[in-house]
Amino acid sequence: MKKYIPKNSLKGCYKEKGLFSLPTDYIVFDTETTGTDPYTSRVIEIGAIKYRNLEKIEEFNMLINPEEAISSFITQLTGIRNNDVVNQPTIDIVLKDFYDFVGKLPLIAHNAIFDIQMIAGEAYRCDMSFLQNEVIDTVPMARVTIPKPWVENHKLETIKNFLGLANGSHRALDDCETCNCIYQLYYDKNTQKK
C-alpha cells in the first residue's frame, strides 16, 4: 500500500450533485480521521446508513487500523483510542466492503468534500478507483433550513443540539443520523412546495 500521495493526485474525486432533484434512495456517510489533510491523514472509522424511500434499511460501520498512532486530540474528540483500532482491519479491506455497500446510490455527507477526499486518499493508497457516485452536501441545506440567526454555525454538533437530537457527535454513525435529519428537513421543506 502506498504511504504518500502526490499533491493534486485527488483532483476530480469530488463531483457534487446540484439540489435540483432530491433522491429518496441514498446513502448518508461519514468518516472519522487522524487529521484533516487527505494527503497525510488516515481514516479510522467509516459509518454509512442506507435509505430507501427515505426510510433507514441498513447500516455500515467499521473501525479501521490506520497503521499509525492516533493523537490524543483525535481520541479526545472522537473517543477512538489506539487500542480500539489495533486489531481492526486495514483500509484496503474496509474500503472494498464500503464500495460494495454504497453501490451506485447517491452519497450524502455534511461538508462532503472532506469525507470524499479522505476516502479518495485512501483509495489512491490502495490502488482503487475513486467513487463515481453523485454527492450531495448538507451544509448548504443546513444554511437554508436552519438560518444563521438560529444557530451560531452550521457544524453538525451545533445543528444536533439545536434540533434536540439524542445521538452523540464525532462518531461516524451518530454524525450520519444528524446529517440525515438535515437532509430530510430540507427534503420536506422543498417537496411540500411542489
Output the DSSP codes for 132-184.
-S-EEEHHHHHHHHS-TTTSS---HHHHHHHHT--S-SSSHHHHHHHHHHHHH
Asked if residues 50 and 105 have their Cβ atoms less than 8 Å apart, the reply is yes
Q: Which of 39, 46, 45, 35 is nearest to 4 (CA)?
A: 39
pLDDT for 131-177, tens place per residue? 999 999 999 999 999 998 999 999 999 999 999 999 888 899 999 99
The C-alpha cell at 10 is 485527488
Give the per-residue pLDDT at 18. Answer: 60
- Inside any domain, residue 47: yes
- Inside any domain, residue 11: no
Give the per-residue pLDDT at 38. Answer: 92
- Inside any domain, residue 19: no
Domain containing residue 165: CATH number:
3.30.420.10
pLDDT for 5-59, tens place per residue? 888 788 878 766 665 679 999 999 999 999 999 999 999 999 999 999 999 999 9
Give the per-residue pLDDT at 20. Answer: 63
- Inside any domain, residue 12: no
- Inside any domain, residue 173: yes
pLDDT for 67-106, tens place per residue? 999 999 999 999 999 999 999 999 999 999 999 999 999 9
pTM (two decimals): 0.92
Q: How many helices (H) and strands (E) does the chain have?
A: 7, 5
In Å, how far are 85, 115, 129, 164 from 132, measured between CA atoms?
28, 14, 8, 34
Give the per-residue pLDDT at 193. Answer: 55
- Inside any domain, residue 1: no
In the chain, how many domains are there? Answer: 1
> Could you tell me the residue range of the domain that residue 115 belongs to?
26-191
- Inside any domain, residue 162: yes
- Inside any domain, residue 57: yes
Asked if residues 102 and 119 have their Cβ atoms less than 8 Å apart, the reply is no
Give the per-residue pLDDT at 17. Answer: 62
